[in-house]
Structure 1
Amino acid sequence: MSVFLYFFFDVIWWILLLIFFCTYIFSFLVVQYRVERFIYRRVKKIYDDLTLLESASISKGAITTDMRTLTQEIDKFARDKKIEIETLKVREKYRKEFLGNVSHELKTPLFTVQGYILTLLDGAMNDENIREKYLQRASKGIERLGYIIKDLDMITKLEVGDLSLKVEAFDIVELVENVFEMLEMKASKKKITLTFDMDYLQPVMVKADKERIQQVLANLIVNSLKYGRDKGTTEISIENLIKNKVIIRVTDNGEGISSEHLPRLFERFYRVDKSGSRKEGGSGLGLSIVKHIIEAHDEKIYVESEYGVGSEFSFTLEKAK
């Protein structure tokens, strides 16, 4: 326009320059505003559709700022979704394994009981010796089912917080000695020695639910006896960890556990022995219960093991003042 006015109307040069700048600035602002509004509305719609940001958090800044933010948020959204999908796949795998294990654990004693009862009904009940033997075996199957259901119920209550803890101060050394006495016969069958790492002449007072911690110790020691070697040792040590914590270690020189099994060792029904044999009995939920009880106390449990060497399970407890 300035060039046109200059050649055909002989307008003064500074007026032409002023017209030039005014027209340029006006055109730039109009185009910038319209383009920004055009893009901003679509960017905001994408935000709203993906719920990446609240509407109030979108600034009306320059176009490049909004586009850069959008790119960053979409990248973050994609990464989070990828992690979420991978997590869901892992959980789905665990869920299938868990359901399969539950089915196996319930099916084995149930079919055993059913088999003995059907045999008795088919005429074996007329033989007094067979009747008594089969009824005893059926009773053991029912007892096994009871263990599984009871332990599952306990884990569920621990997870949802319905199982209250009766916290009190007690001597952990005395409690370990009581568990040793309780499991003495079981240990003698495999000639496994239950011992402390040293003589504890003074009480070690801790604050926790005494009955539940006894259950933790019993489960860990039974586990060490189950997989311990004949004429082996299960050793308990109690050490000061920090000012207000102690750590209790249960160490054995049994068959040990391969490293690939350690991350999933505390899962319900997870078996290191994939054959699924349960020669030693039990519900298959012992370690899972141990983990839930310790976590209900807001404490930590650890495991270290080397295949062919042995295992060490340890957990922390709060000292009693």
Structure 2
Amino acid sequence: MKLSILVLITALAVGLSIGLVNFHFQQSWYFMLVSFGISFATSFILFYYLLEKFIYSKIKLIYKLIHNLKLGKDLKDALGEYVSSDPINDVEHEVKEWAGAKKNEIELLKKQEQFRREFLSNVSHEFKTPLFAIQGYIETLKDCLIDDPETAVRFLQKAENNVERLSYLINDLDSISKLETGEIPINYEKFDIVLLTKEVMESMEDKAKKRGIKLFFKDKYMHPAFVRADREKIRQVLINLISNSMKYSKENGSTSLKIFELHDQFLIEVTDDGIGIDEKHLPRLFERFYRIDSHRSREVGGTGLGLAIVKHILEAHEQIISVRSTLQIGTTFAFTLEKGG
């Protein structure tokens, strides 16, 4: 419809121009109207043919291609062949929208590429550190195995510690990979999260005492709270979050656990009064091997995968985890679990 209007306006302009030029030279209204009519009809037919044949049909084809690409084959077949009443404007809209989507895809790919490079670099570094240490200890053992047995035993112990670190690292990477691909099933069961939390805190009391950290669970949160989840995987979540809080707590600090009842969920919070986390680090906190302070992280140990595992376990449960923190005041990790009914 709009093509006809465009051609009509163009033909009128050409016909009127030729008619006025003819009137200027002939000074006759008759010849002006004849020339106007002939030129208008000729122009209309010519322009309509040219626009329809070489321009408009190509635009319609481009529009259909973009439209079909956006819909996808299955959805396109379900909707049937789509014909636009105004393909010129629609092409402009579709191209802008398509270009915006492609720009976002490119930016996402760049971020993923950057993440891949960082991940490979971190994996390489995490593996090289204990491997080089083990290599050094073994070379030393060769020299002192007979002459200095005590030193040999000490270096054997150090080598064993680094082998354990490698083992933990490999197991954690394997766990994340299986959680991502769904190879590790979620065994749902109904259990009391309060009771599980007590068990975890009791099992970690000795470790907390060595660091001078108090673990406590306020009395008002001690009533039963039944959830539907994988008990052992949630145990791992609690252990990782409490361990993480103890690593970054202040001397003689504390870690507290709280449970809040929501509409159809329970909210579990693990809070410490430690050094806190700068806001700029929060969005990347659950990335694999992401460390806020690499030097401190290596001093307190760990594979750098604990929070990534926590996130994957909770996502496998279709639940969420969040973090809030203030420097020199403390950090709170909060996650949800479905009520057990």
Q: TM-score, normalised by structure 2?
A: 0.81
Which stretches in structure 2 are left out of the alignment for 5+ residues?
A: 1-18, 20-29, 70-80
In the aligned structure 1, how far is the partner of 2:295 from the partner of 2:314? 29
Aligned match of 1:303: 323
Aligned match of 2:260: 239
Aligned match of 2:97: 76
Q: Which amino acid aligns with 1:42?
A: K
In the aligned structure 2, how far is the partner of 1:293 from the partner of 1:186? 24
Deviation at 1:57, TM superposition (A): 3.5
Number of residue equivalences: 302
Higher helix share: 2
In the aligned structure 2, how far is the partner of 1:230 from the partner of 1:224? 12
Deviation at 1:40, TM superposition (A): 2.2
Decide which of 122, 131, 144 is 2:143's aligned counterpart: 122
Q: TM-score, normalised by structure 1?
A: 0.86
Aligned match of 2:188: 167
Aligned match of 1:249: 269
Q: Which amino acid aligns with 1:260?
A: K
2:221–2:258 contact (8 Å) kept in structure 1 = no
Q: Which amino acid aligns with 1:57?
A: Y
In the aligned structure 1, how far is the partner of 2:271 from the partner of 2:235? 17
Deviation at 1:304, TM superposition (A): 0.4
Aligned match of 1:57: 82
Aligned match of 1:156: 177
Cα distance, 1:125–1:312 mapped onto 2, change above 3 Å: farther
1:255–1:309 contact (8 Å) kept in structure 2 = yes
| Matched position secondary structure for 2:66 | coil
Decide which of 115, 131, 149 is 2:152's aligned counterpart: 131
| Matched position secondary structure for 1:102 | helix
Decide which of 120, 130, 152 is 1:99's aligned counterpart: 120
Aligned match of 2:210: 189
The higher relative CO (CA closer than 8 Å, separation ≥ 6) is in: 1
Identity of aligned residues (%): 47
Note the alpha carbon deviations across 1:12-56, whole angstroms, 9 max, x for none: x9xxx99986995576245314422221233245457xx422394
| Matched position secondary structure for 1:216 | helix
Deviation at 1:68, TM superposition (A): 1.8
Deviation at 1:181, TM superposition (A): 1.2
In the aligned structure 1, how far is the partner of 2:146 from the partner of 2:152? 5
Note the alpha carbon deviations across 1:171-217, whole angstroms, 9 max, x for none: 11111111111111111012211001334453111111110000000
Which stretches in structure 1 are left out of the alignment for 5+ residues?
A: 4-12
RMSD: 2.6
